[in-house]
Amino acid sequence: MGTELMKGIAEHGHDVTMLTVFEDKNLPKNGSYRQIILDKALADQQTMLQEVTQIDDKKMKTPLTALKMFNRFGSVVSEAAFNDPKLQKILKSKDKFDCVIVPQFTFEAIKAIAAHFNTHLVVFSIFPANTFLNHFIGNPSLPSINTEMVLGYVHEMSFLQRCLNTLFSVAFYLNRQFILYPEQAELVRKYISKDLDLYKIQYNTSLFLMNAHPTINTATSSVPSMVDIGGFHIRPPKELPDDLKEIFDKSKHGVILFSMGTNMKSANFPKQLKDDLFKAFSKRKETILWKLEEDITVGKPPNVIIRKRFPQSDILAHPKTKLFITHGGFLSTIETIYHGVPAVAIPVVGDQILNSRLIESMGMSTTVNFAKLDEESISAAIEEVLSNKKYAENAKFRRELYHDRPKTPLEEAVYWIEYVIRHKGAHHLRVNYLNLYWFQFYMLDVYAFYFAVIFSIYYIIKLLIKKLFSKKKTVGSKKED
């Protein structure tokens, strides 16, 4: 996603320096695009991703496990980046930048690069508004309506779900303030400067680019410095390569695309699971395109085409594509909606669970639990989606909603980045929240004052009543005498 955003900015005539672990050979022709591959960081990140993908859904819903995973992920990835000699060379250079764009997740220390170069900080969130960023800009974030990503709740929550969501929100806040941020602040002092205060840096963000839109996720509140650019990474579809074009032309019953994304490797599936999937696919008339990172010939049905990589978005755009079997990653979810293709989701970890339930609630997909994935479950899911017209109709409806926008998401992103630069940080977009202490924002001081006043009035009235009854009792005793 970061690569597509920065390439889009370069294509609008800007000079871009892109620090990444993913090399892109299809560089933009306009502007200046300098691509710096952090090779050392890539190895550490891949190791971390393998560790994360081994955490199952049940463990992720355990607060302690989820928090530990987030902390470790942020620490490993951030330090891996800072340890890379190429990033250190940039930090020691005398380069000047109009702004620095960094991702928002648990890599808080990376934000200090903007302060190091004394320039504007723009944060790019790969997810919709969430508790990782709302508190930086004063965006309303109530656990009654804002669900925690790892829980996977969508729309209205039940009482029990709101209780659990509130517990997670409090746990995440305490973890951020007392564990995650101190660890990230230490990385800033260690690798950039002891004089930089990460807490101040984070609250000095000029713009938040949100990979979100009401048509692809649950609508949420947003303050002026938040801009929705969900779907910006999708380019207009290109014609398929000759070999794939031939496959589509020969497919009389349509095509099904099966991909578990970039980081989830189908090659790591147990052999039994691969055999089950082959058996399920062999029963279908459609041609199955499976993104599989290994060559398998034994047991492979003739209607299954295996490749290590497919042009996913271009395939989804083809009219013969009938179904998308996906892991539920957010990019894949957006592309599913963008092209209006019904889906079968097989979420494994993190936001994939929420994304899968979201498109299921839109009526354009069904979900299969990865832990229960076998020949029977995948066959039933495929048959359900392809045989029931409602899934295709709902997918088409969502596609129409998505495309009904005044300008493209990428144009929106470029405009607001240029806006921040033109207006020297665009401080006028920031809400008054940044001038308040946390207890003032949540009005705890006001509630404490009201409680004190009410308690004082109650106490005074109680004393008066006590004294009044005491006098009456004294007068009554004298009359009896």
CATH number of the domain encompassing residue 292 = 3.40.50.2000
Burial of 475 (0-12, 13-18, 19+ CB in 10 A): exposed
Q: Are residues 223 and 137 in the same domain?
A: yes
As given in the structure block, the two tokens for residue 398 are: 């969502």
Among 403, 419, 454, the domain-final residue is 403
Low-confidence ranges of the chain (pLDDT < 50): 55, 57, 60
Q: How far apart are the first and last CA of the chain?
A: 93
pTM of the model as a whole? 0.84
Q: Are residues 57 and 161 in the same domain?
A: yes
CA 310 to chain centre: 23
pLDDT for the residue numbered 123: 95
Length of the chain, in residues: 481
Dihedral of CA 377/380/385/388: which sign? negative
Q: Is residue 2 part of a domain?
A: no
Q: Are residues 358 and 468 in the same domain?
A: no
pLDDT digits (tens, 9 = 90+) for 220-271: 888 999 999 999 999 889 999 999 999 999 999 999 999 998 777 788 888 9
Q: Are residues 428 and 450 in the same domain?
A: no
Q: Are residues 194 and 268 in the same domain?
A: no
Three-state SS for 367? Answer: strand
Q: Is residue 313 part of a domain?
A: yes
Cα 481 from Cα 397, distance rounded (Å): 91
Which domain does 127 fall in, by range? 38-232+408-435
**Long-range interactions of 28-31: CB distance < 8 A, separation 24+:** none
Radius of gyration of the chain (CA): 27
| DSSP track, 376-429 | HHHHHHHHHHHH-HHHHHHHHHHHHHHH--SS-HHHHHHHHHHHHHHTTT-GGG
Q: Are residues 335 and 462 in the same domain?
A: no
Q: Are 274 and 298 in contact (CB under 8 A)?
A: no
Q: How many domains does the chain have?
A: 3
Q: At what angle are helices 85-92 and 63-83 packed, to 10 degrees? A: 60
Q: Are residues 346 and 391 in the same domain?
A: yes
Q: What counts of helices (H) and strands (E) characterise the chain?
A: 20, 12
Q: Are 364 and 385 in contact (CB under 8 A)?
A: no
Q: Are residues 333 and 197 in the same domain?
A: no
pLDDT for the residue numbered 78: 92
What φ, ψ does residue 122 adopt, rounded to 5°?
Answer: -115, 130
Q: Are residues 75 and 153 in the same domain?
A: yes
Q: Is residue 9 part of a domain?
A: no
pLDDT for the residue numbered 248: 96
